[in-house]
Amino acid sequence: MQAPLIEFRQVSKFYGRGEATIRALDHVDLLISQGEFVSIMGPSGSGKSTCMNVIGGLDVPSSGEYLFQGMPTSGFDRTQLTLLRRHMLGFVFQGFNLLARTSAVENVELPLTYRGMDARERRTRAMAALEQVGLKGRENHTTQELSGGQQQRVAIARAIVTDPAVLLADEPTGNLDTRTSTEIMHLITRLNNERGITVIMVTHEEDIAAYGRRLLRFVDGRLTSDEVGRKEAEIVH
């Protein structure tokens, strides 16, 4: 049997110590399989962002074990975590986080550059990724010349250009209006359906969370609800 893509075994994350200890994650068990679309919800401070950071290798658990494709990550150093991000994960942030004064295509090329890919192949793949997110013809626009929705599309292109196993989206529509949010969510859903990319998305909006096929709710660092199969019909139209 194939190991689950992501597995949490009693994962906890504490900040501070003594009386002031904050339990950002409190003994969480979690399994996520290849190809899922998981939404994570919860009030601020509930641990949803910490959960995301741990999955993304940006943060490490205080106790418990995080396994990626069945491989325990507890012994990983900074370099190994970076390599995990580089080869397996793609990030989309609320604030887009594109490099300023840099063209769309150069932003998308960035993760490939760190892999040491040669310039021509990089350009080809970045162009293909931009086409997939519907930004063909805007490759040379700099970040400032693009609208919020377009910037988020560039960010998604940057996340998928490396063919990651998982797309981690942290409030991807938080800075966008409703219409643009819908467009971005359709794009993410399409990537999940067509390319089989596992999507894990943090949001605090119910209707955005509804795009996911599975919904996790966090309260005070605990995983309190895990529902599957919500509203699937609506998403497919």
Partner 1 sequence: MFIETAKLAWRAISRNILRSFLTVLGVVIGVAAVIAMVTIGNGTTAQVKTELQRLGTNTLFVRPGQWGPGRASTEAKRFDDKDVEAIRDQVSGLRAVAPINRGTATVVAGGQNHSTSAIGTTNDYLIAQDWDLVSGREFLPAEERGQAACIIGETLRKELFGSADPVGETIRVSNVSCPVVGLLAAKGQSGMGDDQDDTVLMPLKLHQRRIGGTTTISSIILSAHDGVSTSGVQSDVESLLRERRRIGIGREDDFSVNDMSQIASTMTGTTMLLTGLLGAVAAVSLLVGGIGIMNIMLVSVTERTREIGIRLAIGALENQVLMQFLVEAVMLSIFGGVTGILMGLLLAYGVVSVLGVPFVTSPSIIFVAFAFSAAIGMIFGYFPARRAAQLNPIEALRHE
Query: Residue 111 corresponds to which amino acid?
Result: P
Beta-bridged to residue 22, according to DSSP, are: 15
Residues that bind partner 1 (CB under 8 A): 53, 56, 58-59, 78-79, 82-83, 85-87, 91, 93, 97-101, 110-111, 113-116, 158-159, 162
The edge-to-edge listing of strands for the beta sheet with 198-202 is 89-92, 166-170, 198-202, 37-41, 214-219, 222-228
Which segments of the chain does DSSP mark as H helices, in order?
48-55, 78-88, 104-114, 119-132, 148-160, 178-195, 206-209, 232-236
Residue among 158 and 213 whose Cβ is closer to partner 1: 158
CB of 163 to partner 1, least distance (A): 13
Residue among 104 and 215 whose Cβ is closer to partner 1: 104
CB of 171 to partner 1, least distance (A): 13
CB of 226 to partner 1, least distance (A): 25
Alpha-carbon distances of 123 from 68, 71, 74, 109, 142, rounded to whole Å: 30, 33, 36, 7, 16
Is-contact 213 230, C-beta < 8 A? yes
Residue among 31 and 81 whose Cβ is closer to partner 1: 81
CA distance 148 to 136: 16
Residue among 170 and 215 whose Cβ is closer to partner 1: 170
Residue among 122 and 213 whose Cβ is closer to partner 1: 122
| Lookup: tokens for 10 | 């009693």
CB of 31 to partner 1, least distance (A): 24
CB of 117 to partner 1, least distance (A): 10
